[in-house]
Amino acid sequence: MEEFAKLIIDGKEITLPVIVGSEGERAIDIRSLRPQTGYITFDPGYGNTGACKSAITYMDGEKGILRYRGIPIEQLAKSSTFVETAFLLITGKLPTRDELTSTSVYLNDASPVHESMKAFYQNYPPKAHPMGILSAMVNAMRSFYPELIDLEEEMNNTYLRLISKIRTMAAMAYKISIGQRVIYPRPDLCYCSNFLNMMFDSAVVPYRMDNDLVRALNVFWILHADHEQNCSTTAVRVVGSGKVNIYSAISAGISALWGPLHGGANQAVIHMLERIRKDGMSVEQCIARAKDAEDDFRLMGFGHRVYKTYDPRAKIMKEMCDIVLKKVKCKDPLLDIARNLEEAALNDTYFKEKNLYPNVDFYSGIVLRAMGIPTDMFTVMFAIGRLPGWIAQWKEDWIDPEMKICRPRQIYTGNILNEYVPIDQREEESSVS
């Protein structure tokens, strides 16, 4: 049965359709509101705005649920691989064995980066942040690999090319930044092993592959693979809605992810923990500062726009932390600080009342540190993981007949009609006054 909402505005009653999602989520379709009444809706930060219909990821922030194409994140993290999860997100179904094999073969075949692109890296200043480099490199891919959007097979190859090359470009950026020889991808290694090898193999010390760390990287990337309409995904959709090429849309997503309130939080958490350690701050002092409205100190890795309970990804990441630290036989003093902070915050009235729980970034930095990933590369690791989600969301938008170019409205609060005064007259008037 069709549902409607009634709204009385300026004494006039109007009827607006209600849209119901497959999990019972409800939205009032306000598309006819302005034509009928002249009113727009006001929602800065889009906290209560549904910008699209999507069949990719389901989240329930109150219950702490996250599912890709209906499959719980816990099951994917336990049993899937990053490549299989990427296939699931982009195509909507789990691959057959043949499909998985051909995907892996294509990912390996496409992994080298065009030799001329190497020159780009060498011309960046040595301290350039790898997220800036990655965003520029992905945008530049359009010039090297123009995609043919009207051919399905070509587009499928474009998605895989992006997933394959982003990993090579990220590892290359790291090697060049530390002045080491670039390690090329190896056809005998799987997606995650190849990345670790490209990052850590060197002429002096050959990299010893560890299956547990490869598994940990798979899980890390699965947990980051999609998160419905977050800031960077919205950037991808908004930029893509102008019908720009996919590389530019993804490049915009990488830039959006860089911010410390979004994907940059994993790096910000480590900086915060290091500062706490260096300054000898107590847990109580940190909590007090985070609660002080006059102080801009926030507990990084805490809070989320959608989750009002423990982020299900954070639960898995916390378990991973123990596994990886045990594996590399390392005791990270930042982990003790993190655990104490978490315990104190979860028992604090301010955090409880505002439903502030650890998010995925709270423990992910410690996992990455233990794997040997440098702090500057943390957000790049998030970007590699999020890529399949961005692609799936871009694709969904591209083929959705209901989607239009994104163009929000505003409430204008500036000057009302004003006269232009020529500069001579302005000077004359100011010298008199």
Which residues belong to the active site? 304, 361
Q: How far is the CB of 407 from ligand CMC (least distance, A)?
A: 23
> Could you tell me which of 226, 263, 219 has the C-alpha nearest to residue 379?
263
Piece of the chain touching ligand CMC by CB under 6 A; list 89-97, 260-268, 271-279, 331-339 = 260-268
Piece of the chain touching ligand CMC by CB under 6 A; list 52-60, 124-132, 209-217, 352-360 = 352-360
Burial class (CB in 10 A: 0-12, 13-18, 19+), 72: middle
CB closer to ligand CMC out of 113 and 131: 131
Q: How far is the CB of 294 from ligand CMC (least distance, A)?
A: 11
Determine contact, residues 105/129, Cβ cutoff 8 Å. no
CA distance 386 to 382: 6
Q: What is the dihedral of CA 222, 224, 228, 231, to 10 degrees?
A: -160
Residue 12's beta-bridge partner residues? 9
The binder of ligand CMC chosen from 261, 277, 292, 331 (CB under 6 A): 261
Determine contact, residues 55/392, Cβ cutoff 8 Å. no
Piece of the chain touching ligand CMC by CB under 6 A; list 19-27, 106-114, 351-359, 413-421 = 351-359
The answer to whether 352 contacts ligand CMC (rule: CB under 6 A) is: no
Q: How far is the CB of 128 from ligand CMC (least distance, A)?
A: 23
Q: How far is the CB of 194 from ligand CMC (least distance, A)?
A: 26
CB closer to ligand CMC out of 59 and 113: 59
Q: 81 Cβ partners below 8 Å, 6+ apart?
A: 190, 191, 192, 218, 222
CA distance 222 to 65: 15
Piece of the chain touching ligand CMC by CB under 6 A; list 26-34, 354-362, 397-405, 409-417 = 354-362
The binder of ligand CMC chosen from 170, 173, 287, 300 (CB under 6 A): 300
Burial class (CB in 10 A: 0-12, 13-18, 19+), 107: buried
Piece of the chain touching ligand CMC by CB under 6 A; list 174-182, 280-288, 356-364, 406-414 = 356-364
Look at the alpha carbons of 229, 231, 237, 241 in this order and tell me if their dihedral is positive or negative: positive
What are 127's two structure tokens? 């301290």
CA distance 280 to 108: 47
The answer to whether 313 contacts ligand CMC (rule: CB under 6 A) is: no
Number of residues engaging ligand CMC in binding (CB under 6 A):
20
DSSP state of 208: -
Half-sphere exposure of residue 406, counting CA atoms within 13 Å on the CB side?
16
Q: How far is the CB of 378 from ligand CMC (least distance, A)?
A: 12
The answer to whether 84 contacts ligand CMC (rule: CB under 6 A) is: no
The answer to whether 312 contacts ligand CMC (rule: CB under 6 A) is: no
Distances (CA, A) of 332 to 299, 315, 321, 324, 355: 19, 19, 10, 11, 28
Burial class (CB in 10 A: 0-12, 13-18, 19+), 245: middle
Q: How far is the CB of 307 from ligand CMC (least distance, A)?
A: 8
Within 218-247, which residues bind ligand CMC (CB under 6 A)? 227, 230
The answer to whether 314 contacts ligand CMC (rule: CB under 6 A) is: no
The answer to whether 378 contacts ligand CMC (rule: CB under 6 A) is: no
Q: Write the binding mask 19 to 58 for ligand CMC: x where contact by CB under 6 A, - elsewhere.
A: ----------------------------------------
Residues of this chain that interact with ligand CMC (CB under 6 A) are 227, 230, 261-263, 265, 290, 298-305, 354, 356, 359-361
